[in-house]
Copies of this chain bind each other. A is one copy, B any other.
Amino acid sequence: MFFQIIDILGTIAFAISGALVAMNKRMDAFGVLIIAFVTAVGGGTLRDVMIGLEPVSWMRNMTYVYVITASAVFAVIFRKRISYLRTSLFLFDTIGIALYTVVGIETGLVAGLHPIICIALGTMTACFGGVIRDMLCNEIPVIFRKEIYATACILGGLTYFLLLQFLEERNYLFIIAGLVVITVRLLAVKFKISLPSLYKKED
């Protein structure tokens, strides 16, 4: 129940962030809805397709469809005032990537995959909705350039598998891994830490 509420909050944050990007690109209502959807479920869809869990999860649970549609409508109606919600959205988004990371790791474990692949699946679940959003909006994906976003997911995943040596109770591990993701992301934003660009100077 607790996890489900956080999952929905994360979905809302991703859907609204997608809708805002789409509106800034002057898309019409259909475009805004699709980008909201893709941002919220794109990562999980890619994960499910790659490991063979089909139909993909949002086709089996209508909650996502309703929540994302409502979030997109909300973003459209309140588009001029949504900057007041910026902090809340950032928090939802941060909680969202933490939860999506954990969901991705869990999915990989259930499929019997190697820990490194599980961490990759967690990061993919959390980050690739935004990557597909940016591809559709004709931008180089922002997470490849600016923010410690994926890195937070990877560190959360590493923590999970390191602690797995000592702890047996998975639920605790998931909570700890999620808290690592959230902490790294908040600290990175607060102290404006980002990975350096690896620009290759021409000889």
Contacts and interface: CB of A to CB of B under 8 A. Distances in A.
Nearest to A65: B116
A27 interface: yes
Contacts of A76: 198
A139 interface: yes
A59 to B, nearest CB: 5
Contacts of A150: 30, 34
A23 B143 CA distance: 14
Contacts of A45: 50
A144 interface: yes
Nearest to A83: B203
A150 B28 CA distance: 11
A151 interface: yes
Contact of A30 (B31, B65, B143): B143
Contact of A113 (B59, B117, B197, B200): B59
Contact residues on A (Cβ < 8 Å of other chain), bracket: 35 or more
Interface stretch (A130-138, A164-172, A175-183): A130-138
B136 A59 contact: no
A25 B135 contact: no
B143 A195 contact: no
Q: Which of A34, A131, A194, A196 is most buried by chain B, counting CB atoms within 10 A of its CB?
A: A34
A137 B198 CA distance: 15
A48 to B, nearest CB: 8
A35 B145 CA distance: 12
B138 A144 contact: no
A125 B147 CA distance: 32
Given A50-B45, A138-B138, A144-B136, A198 B56 contact: no
B62 A56 contact: no
Interface in A1-54: 20, 22-32, 34-35, 45, 49-52, 54
Given A24-B199, A79-B200, 4 more contacts: A27-B198, A29-B196, A55-B111, A65-B120
